[in-house]
Amino acid sequence: MKIALGCDHGGINLKNAIIDYLEENEIAFEDFGCFSERSVDYPIYAYKVAKAVADNEYDFGILCCGTGIGVSMAANKVKGVRAAVVSNEFGAEMTRRHNNANILCMGGRVIKEDDAVRFTDIFLNTPFSSDEERHTRRVKMLSEIDNGTFSTE
Ligand code: RB5
């Protein structure tokens, strides 16, 4: 498994805690920045991670900003990305099981570092429910919205 990591200044605390977790568990990752608490623009880092995940260079992405919301908005504009803002265990599990989320987004001003690590662990260890047709059908609809072929008829 290989993970793409990114953050802005508002999420660097969570990203650093997640790096410790990944290193302890010998999970390969690349850190796309930022690397300090100096104020930066979150779309830059969200785009780098989202593009790398959409290009299948990484299995999953993890993005952190102040709320998790800005990075998720930016990431979800990249075709093929299903980025989810998570703030509890249930969301971390269900966005993998039901949405086949490929990017986990969290907010450094919303949740604590140990929560972010726990949600990361759940997210990375929960499979998509690919044997349940309704979930594959719905995720396929997301791709169709992405590529302009979706119809509600
Ligand atoms: C930065 O102050 C903050 O706006 C950013 O981290 C993020 O929360 C945006 O959604």
28: its two tokens = 């390969």
Distance CA 47, CA 14 (A): 18
**Burial of residue 87, with CB atoms counted within 10 A of its CB: 0-12 exposed, 13-18 middle, 19 or more buried:** middle
Q: Which atom of ligand 1 lies at the shortest distance from residue 70's CA?
A: 10
Return the residue whose CA atom lies nearest to atom 7 of ligand 1. Answer: 66
Residue listed under structure tokens 């990249």: 78
| C-alpha of residue 152 to centroid of ligand 1, in Å | 34
pLDDT value at residue 110: 98
> Can you give the pLDDT at residue 114?
98
Tokens standing for residue 30: 């690349």
H-run or E-run covering 47: helix 42-54
Tell me what percent of the residues of the chain surpass a pLDDT of 90.
100
Catalytic residues: 65, 98
* 66-117: pLDDT as tens digits: 999 999 999 999 999 999 999 999 999 999 999 999 999 999 999 999 999 9
pLDDT attached to residue 8: 98
Quickly state the pLDDT bin for 52 (edges 50, 70, 90).
Answer: very high
Tell me, in angstroms, the distance from the centre of ligand 1 to residue 58's CA: 25
Region 119-124 average pLDDT: 98
The residue contributing the CA closest to ligand 1 atom 4 is 66
Q: Summarize the chain as % helix, strand, coil (round to 5).
A: 45, 15, 35
Task: Find the mean pLDDT for residues 122-151.
Answer: 97
Ligand 1 pocket member 70 (CB < 6 A): yes
Q: What is the CATH number of domain 2-147?
A: 3.40.1400.10
Q: Is the CB of 10 under 6 A from ligand 1?
A: yes
Average pLDDT for the chain: 98
